[in-house]
Amino acid sequence: IRGSGPQVTIAIHSPGRLHMLRVSEWGAGEAQELFQDVYSSSIFYQDNVHGRVERIYECGLGPEKEALLARIADRLSTPPRPLPHRS
């Protein structure tokens, strides 16, 4: 999950394969909408690939980040981690 200004990108992949790329607009105070996007993307992946989302990385999500990440961790049983920086 990557936030950049008013856009959020959700990507689901496994080694060598991109399963889903979703870009949506996200404004302040819309943490519930973003949660729904993340949750529905995860369920779509589980239903179509028959696998569970094992790791979630996040960056750039702004001031509502903590509440959003706590809800994602609770509902998907996968606590989001900061996206590692490449040097």
Q: What is the pLDDT of residue 58?
A: 92
Confirm if 75 and 51 have CB atoms less than 8 A apart: no
Residue 76 confidence (pLDDT): 92
Q: What is the pLDDT of residue 41?
A: 92
For 7-45, the pLDDT digits (tens) are 889 999 888 888 889 998 876 667 888 899 999 999 999
Which residue type sits at 53? V
Segment 42-78, tens digit of pLDDT = 999 999 887 888 889 999 888 888 988 999 999 999 9
**Residue 41's closest CA among 62, 60, 18?**
18
Q: How far apart are CA 64 and CA 50, in angstroms?
A: 31
Tokens of 35: 């949660």
Of 37, 78, 80, 76, nearest in space to 58 by CA: 80
pLDDT value, residue 32:
83
